[in-house]
């Protein structure tokens, strides 16, 4: 009978023999660990382009200016604005600085009967653009921001005199300013979405219909102001 001491000696010897004849056997039995590459930190820096759409509401103040007197009046001014934007962001720490240009189709209008006359006027904003600077604060992929700059747009002023069956119109490009803010949220890919409110003052423009109304010093003017609530999406390159 084989003693227990002899049996243990045989087992130990067999183990030493296997370890010596199978190179790397012990290493193959060890667990493997994969080193993952560190993920790149998210940044808002870069060029982006996108589209937007929203609703504008405000006032169109006009004045019928005649040699003897002036007849001011105001009408509500609202409608759709939608278009495209192109911009660049530069992130420093959590601060984000940017510039943005936009151009939009517009259908924002308002009509009013001039007091003490049979004449109705209609102001219609046909397109709208702006160049803005942006300052934001990044909470990783969420960025609230404020933005402001210059604005411009083409307005059409129509006059309809029902009593005399006269209908005339004139157009002019207004230049003004804009200021507002919003929140932009970046997705896991290159897309981001935002919602914002901006106030637009296209300032007063005179000399509408100066060649039509007749009479030295006779013309109409328009002063356009509106708020714009809109949403947009951007793609970061």
User: 205-212 — which CB contacts under 8 Å span 24+ positions?
Assistant: 205/155, 205/172, 205/173, 205/174, 206/65, 207/172, 208/157, 208/170, 208/172, 209/157, 209/159, 209/168, 209/170, 212/168, 212/170
Q: Is the pLDDT of residue 97 over 90?
A: yes
Could you report the per-residue pLDDT of 161-204, keeping only the tens digit for each? 877 777 889 999 999 999 999 999 999 889 999 999 999 999 99
pLDDT at 28 over 80: no
Classify residue 146: in a domain, yes or no: yes
pLDDT at 18 over 50: no
Q: How confident is the model at residue 66 (pLDDT cuts 50, 70, 90)?
A: confident
Half-sphere exposure in the Cβ direction for 192 (13 Å, CA): 25
Q: Is the pLDDT of residue 12 over 50?
A: no
| Residue 21 forms part of a structural domain | no
Q: What is the pLDDT of residue 17?
A: 40
Q: What pTM, to 2 d.p., does this model score?
A: 0.79
Alpha helices in the chain (DSSP H): 4-21, 25-28, 210-213
The pLDDT, as a whole number, for residue 35 is 56
Of 80-84, 132-136, 167-171, 231-235, minimum mean pLDDT range: 167-171
Q: pLDDT band at residue 19, thresholds of 50, 70 and 90?
A: very low
Q: For the range 36-44, what are the long-range contacts, defined as Cβ-Cβ under 8 Å and sequence gap of 24 or more? A: 42/140, 42/141, 42/186, 43/91, 44/89, 44/91, 44/96, 44/98, 44/136, 44/138, 44/143, 44/186, 44/236
Query: Stretch 107-127: mean pLDDT, rounded?
Result: 90
Mean pLDDT of the chain: 85
4 lies in some domain: no
Q: Is the pLDDT of residue 103 over 50?
A: yes
Supply the range of the domain harboring residue 140: 46-236
Residue 34 inside a domain? The answer is no
pLDDT at residue 230, rounded to an integer = 98
Per the structure, the count of domains in the chain is 1
Specify the pLDDT at position 78: 96
Answer whether residue 26 is part of any domain: no
Residue 27 lies in a domain: no
CATH of the domain at 226: 2.40.160.20
As a whole-number percent, the residues of the chain with pLDDT over 70 amount to: 81
Summarize pLDDT for 133-167 with one digit per residue, the tens: 999 999 999 999 999 999 999 999 998 887 777 78
């Amino acid at each position: 009978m084989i003693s227990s001491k002899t049996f243990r000696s045989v087992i130990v010897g067999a183990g030493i023999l296997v370890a010596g004849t199978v190179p790397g056997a012990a290493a193959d039995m060890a667990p493997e660990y994969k080193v993952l590459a560190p993920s790149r930190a998210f940044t808002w820096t870069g060029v982006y382009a996108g589209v937007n759409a929203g609703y504008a509401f405000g006032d169109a103040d006009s004045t019928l200016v005649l040699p003897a007197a002036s007849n001011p009046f105001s009408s509500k001014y609202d409608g759709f604005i939608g278009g495209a934007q192109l911009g660049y962001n530069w992130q420093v720490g959590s601060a984000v600085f940017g510039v943005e240009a936009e151009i939009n189709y517009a259908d924002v209008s308002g009509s009013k009967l001039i007091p003490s006359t049979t004449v109705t006027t209609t102001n219609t904003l046909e397109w709208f653009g702006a160049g803005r600077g942006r300052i934001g604060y990044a909470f990783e992929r969420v960025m609230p921001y404020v933005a402001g700059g210059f604005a411009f747009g083409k307005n059409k002023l129509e006059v309809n005199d029902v009593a005399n069956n006269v209908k005339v119109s004139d157009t002019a490009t207004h230049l003004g300013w804009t200021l507002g803010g919003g929140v932009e949220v970046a997705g896991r890919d290159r897309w981001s979405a935002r919602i914002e409110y901006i106030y637009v003052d296209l300032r007063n423009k005179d000399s509408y219909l100066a060649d039509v109304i007749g009479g030295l010093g006779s013309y109409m003017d328009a002063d356009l102001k509106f708020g714009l609530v809109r949403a947009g999406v951007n793609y970061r390159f």
